[in-house]
């Protein structure tokens, strides 16, 4: 399919509805970022998603768009519940990969001499890397409990407090999870990976609040300039990966039985009202809940590590959860279409929710100011806190971007970094990093990603989310 682009304005580009496309494609980007987008096949993936049954509005892509499995990463698509589909490729392998940000009472200038030691302590205490396992070994009963209860299971076991649940998307648990649908392989992979960070772009980062853009919202979020905050990025680990893999195989195998004319086999899907579609959503919810429990436990262990490493008490540290938001998920939500409230299934793959003030899905904590939106940069670059905006509800089914977005594949990044000592380069600019392997640092070097400031400016100017604060990295651990 030949992709034609029409520039609508400074921040939006249209792929007109042609051929088998049921709706147009709409990409949020600027001129500079669009040059990078055109280098891969992600625009073709936007058009491919637009051909799926029951799609509503536009096939959307956020400014961090890049090539993914079936759907582009940074892709958002809404589907009618009667005629529409659910696709594992529209959620991703790492189900409920997401971000969690914690505030503290510490100041960056006070802990700067200790940053390297703090990173070493976190690296020692937090299991990282491919296939990493932690000290928690779940029984079948406990694993089922995690899959149904999510972050609440972790809180009941002493990892954090019930207040954390009010600052977690969906209170840390999706309804409808059914562990009886999971394969033996999925259950096995989840038994000893709870409370682990994983590898790739997952991280725990010590950051400093560098700039405040909106003082009122920053105060509501307990943010101030010079403050130390902690950013966690990880997901459902091998548990979610196996669930995705199991259903992709099943849906691919059954595709011939359906009347779908898929332009790409990676778009394997099932009708939302079918038994297969319902089973996938129930299994996906299990992985989503596992991920929320995972980040809840990692926050608790980070809290304990900092207390010990700094020899301070909890009151002095003052660590508190700001928010936890996911960015690989499919959710049934109410949206206004043609002046009517309609229940839709929203796929967000590498995209995050952006709910404005007053939205009923927000807990009372942030009902008046809007949902905190967490957008991490690449290793070595800034991250951002934004607030959900009305524009997202009107334009993007309450969605915005989830990060910077890759411009180099991991293979290309590894080749470009050949002969370089990435950890030393980062240390030279004041960022201490520890990782299980040198290859991870090469694959995740800052040049492998888009300019996060441009990505965030697009969503800010387009009205998908509003800037609140910019965060500067001080140290990071990776797998």
Q: Which residue reads 């796929």 in tokens?
A: 347
Of 159, 383, 147, residue with least CA distance to 288: 147
d(CA 211, CA 470): 5
Return the number of other C-beta atoms located less than 10 Å from residue 363's C-beta.
15
Query: Which tokens belong to 187?
Result: 């259950």
Which of helix, strand or coil describes residue 6? strand
Q: Exactly one of 58, 66, 241, 402 is catalytic; name it.
A: 402
Q: Enumerate the β-bridge partners of residue 14.
A: 6, 26
Q: Which residue reads 């993914």 in tokens?
A: 68
What own/partner pairs with CB < 8 Å and gap ≥ 24 does 329-337 have? Answer: 329/91, 329/95, 329/96, 329/284, 329/288, 330/86, 330/90, 330/91, 330/281, 330/284, 331/174, 332/81, 333/361, 333/397, 333/398, 335/78, 335/393, 335/397, 335/398, 336/393, 337/56, 337/57
Report the DSSP pairing between strands 227-234 and 25-28: unpaired
Query: Which tokens belong to 197?
Result: 């960070």
Residue 241 falls in the annotated catalytic set: no
Local structure of residue 177 (DSSP, 8 states) = -
Helix (H) or strand (E) holding 227: strand 227-234
d(CA 438, CA 393): 42
Task: Provide φ and ψ at 13, rounded to 5°.
Answer: -130, 140
For residues 231 and 374, is the Cβ–Cβ distance under 8 A? yes
Local structure of residue 306 (DSSP, 8 states) = H
d(CA 410, CA 219): 39
Of 300, 295, 297, 369, residue with least CA distance to 327: 295
Query: Which tokens belong to 180?
Result: 């009886």
Report the DSSP pairing between strands 227-234 and 98-107: antiparallel
Q: Measure CA 50 to chain center.
A: 22
What own/partner pairs with CB < 8 Å and gap ≥ 24 does 303-306 have? Answer: 303/102, 304/125, 305/118, 305/121, 305/122, 305/125, 305/126, 306/104, 306/118, 306/121, 306/230
Active site residues: 402
């Amino acid at each position: 399919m030949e992709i034609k682009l029409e520039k609508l304005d400074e921040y939006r580009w249209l792929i007109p509805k042609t051929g088998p496309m049921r709706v147009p494609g709409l990409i949020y980007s600027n001129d500079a970022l669009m040059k990078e987008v055109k280098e891969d096949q992600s625009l073709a993936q936007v058009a491919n998603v637009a051909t799926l049954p029951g799609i509503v509005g536009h096939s959307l892509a956020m400014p961090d768009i890049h090539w993914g499995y079936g759907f582009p990463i940074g892709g958002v698509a809404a589907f009618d519940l009667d005629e529409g589909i659910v696709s594992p490729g529209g959620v991703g392998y790492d189900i409920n990969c997401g971000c969690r940000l914690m505030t503290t009472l510490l100041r960056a200038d006070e802990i700067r001499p200790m940053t390297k030691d703090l990173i070493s302590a976190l690296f020692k205490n937090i299991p990282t890397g491919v296939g990493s396992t932690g000290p928690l070994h779940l029984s079948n009963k406990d694993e089922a409990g995690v899959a149904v209860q999510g972050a609440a299971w972790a809180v009941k076991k002493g990892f954090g407090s019930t207040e954390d649940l009010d600052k977690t998307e969906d209170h840390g648990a999706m309804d409808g999870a059914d562990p009886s649908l999971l394969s033996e392989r999925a259950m096995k992979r989840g038994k000893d990976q709870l409370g682990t960070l994983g590898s790739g772009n997952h991280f725990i980062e010590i950051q400093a609040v560098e700039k405040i853009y909106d003082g009122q919202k920053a105060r509501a979020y307990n943010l101030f300039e010079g403050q130390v905050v902690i950013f966690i990025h990880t997901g459902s680990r091998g548990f979610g990966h196996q669930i995705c893999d199991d259903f992709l195989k099943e849906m691919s195998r059954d595709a011939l039985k359906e009347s779908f004319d898929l332009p790409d086999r990676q778009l394997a899907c099932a009708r939302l009202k079918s038994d297969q579609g319902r089973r996938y959503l129930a299994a996906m919810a299990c992985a989503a809940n596992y991920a929320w429990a995972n980040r809840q436990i990692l926050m608790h262990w980070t809290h304990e590590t900092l207390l010990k490493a700094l020899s301070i008490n909890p009151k002095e540290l003052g660590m508190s959860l700001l928010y936890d938001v996911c960015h690989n998920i499919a959710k049934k939500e109410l949206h206004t279409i043609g002046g009517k409230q309609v229940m839709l299934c929203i796929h967000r793959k590498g995209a995050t929710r952006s709910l404005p003030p007053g939205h009923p899905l927000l807990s009372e904590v942030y009902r008046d100011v809007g949902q905190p939106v967490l957008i991490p940069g690449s290793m070595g670059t800034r991250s951002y806190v934004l607030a959900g905006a009305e524009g997202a509800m009107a334009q993007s089914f309450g969605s915005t971007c989830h990060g910077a977005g890759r411009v180099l594949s991991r293979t290309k990044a590894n080749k470009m970094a050949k002969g370089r000592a990435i950890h030393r380069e980062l240390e030279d600019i004041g960022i201490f990093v520890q990782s299980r392997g040198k290859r991870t640092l090469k694959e995740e070097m800052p040049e492998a990603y888009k300019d996060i400031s441009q990505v965030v400016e697009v969503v800010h100017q387009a009205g998908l989310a509003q800037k609140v604060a910019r965060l500067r990295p001080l140290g990071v651990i990776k797998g």
